[in-house]
Structure 1
Amino acid sequence: MIINNLEELIRPYLNNHGKHLISYEANYFLPPGENYGSVMLSVDVKVKNQKNQKEEIIHCVAKMLPPCEALRDYFNTSTTFKKEITHYNSVITTLTEFGKTIGVNNLVDFCAECLGSRISLNPKSNVVDEDAVFVLKNLKVDGYTVGDRFTGFDLETSKLVLRNMAKMHAAFLALKFKNPEEFKTKVLPNLGEAMVYVAPDDILDRMAKTIQKYAGRHPDCVPFLDRIGEGTRKMKDVFIYSKNKEPFATLVHTDLWVNNILLKYQDGKPVHNVFIDFPLCVYGNPARDVLFFIYSSTNFDVLTTSVDELIKIYYDELIDYLKKLKCDTSQLTYKLFLEEVDVAARDTEFCHCIFMLTPIYTAKGGIQDMSEWTTEFLVADNEENLHPNFHKKLHLTCIDFARRNWI
């Protein structure tokens, strides 16, 4: 695999660390179906330290454009790729500098380090093209792993992820509260348009009917089939949804599920996690991330016993961390946050979670070549490609949303 002009791309990073590139080797990082929004490469960069002349390997991950036009249109790559580059180059830099001013040096430890980025080989171009790429540190060599998307996280891991999610949201809230002009000029402009996909009516109808058919196999879902169909059809405009409400509004990732969360374990216990894949960030309701994570990425035991506990753990961590960052939290009441949870559940997260069950539970090898992807893959009507856990997660999600009057 070749990345054109890789040396030029990461030269500023190498110069800052007193190193120069000797060679590199790149291979596919993920198999087809494990990431839809881009081509991911594992890149091992051999460098030489200019002081002691010793050679070493820097392990990286390169993110490139999706392999076909259908996926690029679906993910609005011409916009979202720029957004993610700006996230690492400007937004995270702004947050890092803010952290230093308030004496917090680890304010952005939820994010991987970026070594270099571009949208084109032409420095004057403003158009994302085939040479668009950015390079991140490969955290897997530091012991970080991706969970099993078919089973989801246990309670201990889920608590860790939600506490770190709260810290990420709180960091941007603190910047907004303490330095609103900086937030307005350097962060907010990158939290606008992301995906603008509007599901065609025929795809939406097939999706809703398929979900109703599967849900109807479980007797507890049968009384709610009309509500399940109506909730699924909200997928029509979920990607262009932009409602937000102060004071909770902050950076919302909108895609925090198993594959976008790297976890580090020590003695068999989770000790830290890092969030990746930031092209779909918006300014809005943080409860969207909370609910999407819980219903997409926790295991069945957690989903049936601990949803309310996890929501409260997230909120408590959010408030505690904001207080550590010397922010006034008097307006951020739990009652108001639960109202935000209700809004997120009803407006976006039911259809979002139901929609994502298809990629989450598509069996490994079920998609052989992402260059052949079409919007037909959005409909989960090929059961041969679905992991058995698809149906149980669908039933549990539908029942819980219905019983909570979220659909």
Structure 2
Amino acid sequence: MKWVVFGAVVAFAAGVVLIAGGAYVERGVPEWLLVVPLAITCAGVLVRQRAPLLSLGLGVVAVTVDGFVGPSLGTVLVFTDNLYAAVLYGPARFARVLLGVTATLAVVGGAVAGFIAQDWRALAVMGIQAGLVLVTPVTTALVLREQRDRAAAERLRAEQVAHLAELDRQAAIAAERTRMARELHDMIANHFSAIAIQSTAALSRKDLDPETVRKVMESVRENSVKGMAEMRSMIGLLRQEGEEPEATRPRLADAETLVERVRRAGLVAGLRVDGDVREVPASVDLAGYRILQEALTNALKHGDSPVDVVVSYEAGRVVVTVDNVVGGAGAARLPGARAGVIGMRERASLVGGSLDAGPGGQDGMGRGRWRVLAVLPTSDHQTFHGNGAGPIAVNVRQEGA
């Protein structure tokens, strides 16, 4: 505000100096009278930012009065600032209208001056002067206003881009946390469920001979070591950059290992692989492995023998089925986080597949069964026949543990 007042005072002082120096048209009026319109235009300078249209109005009144008593050069020069402020700080639509008005006034003013003087040179001189006084400050303000609006738009766009980038970052962090949680749940739950079940059985049975206890403890140790190894492997994968190494990526081909772990935990489990075994995309391979791992973990926690696993390689998809007897009276051996089925559905959905989990009828003894059916699409149909003897079919059934 103080700079605006300072500018108005300087403009008024400069105008007074010009009037004192004779920079006005002599009309036979006292010089002090020329100071009145000058003061009015300088008052417009005081309100140029807060009320730009009022500033222009004061300038128009001052120039009109000055035209009758002068005109004086100082008042005209300060009036150009009134025009400039009205365009720069006033409404955008008014600024465009004012450009047309000032251009018309410049042309008409020059034509009238030339007609009155009966000299085309006067027309040219007055037209140029009117253009300098009226059009030049308006066009200058329009250019600056456009640059200012463009800079504001760029700042707004940059803020929006930064906001979207932050939202993307937060979404990526949330997705990565979800993925890590899902991986940890699927990987660790299987090992530690087997450990908990075996240790519970060993503690609850008082009649076990030392050899049986030793076998149980060996199985517990094996699951512990494998769980820690998989944990270290996953931490290494999370820390490194690039794609997941082929050597450490879990595969559906490792289904026999998962089934064997369930057998060691005390369930009767069988595995059958149907169709032509082939390489599948890494995402489908990992999803199928984790779904099978979680389904077997749930069978350990909540189910009973027998557990039937079928991995079927069909045209354009891989189907994983886990079928087990429901535990007695629906009682779970171990408490669950109720996130297993949700996690399996998420994994299937991420690769464009589907998963159904629910009651699967009854077996021959009238016991209820639970079935997990995952359908995972794949576009890779390359077939691996192992020894070249044709499609591989594996049917494994082992009793007891």
- Which protein shows a greater Rg? 2
What is the TM-score of this pair, normalised by structure 1? Answer: 0.24
What is the TM-score of this pair, normalised by structure 2? Answer: 0.24
Higher helix share: 2
Instruction: Name the structure, 1 or 2, with higher relative contact order (CA <8 Å, separation 6+).
Output: 1
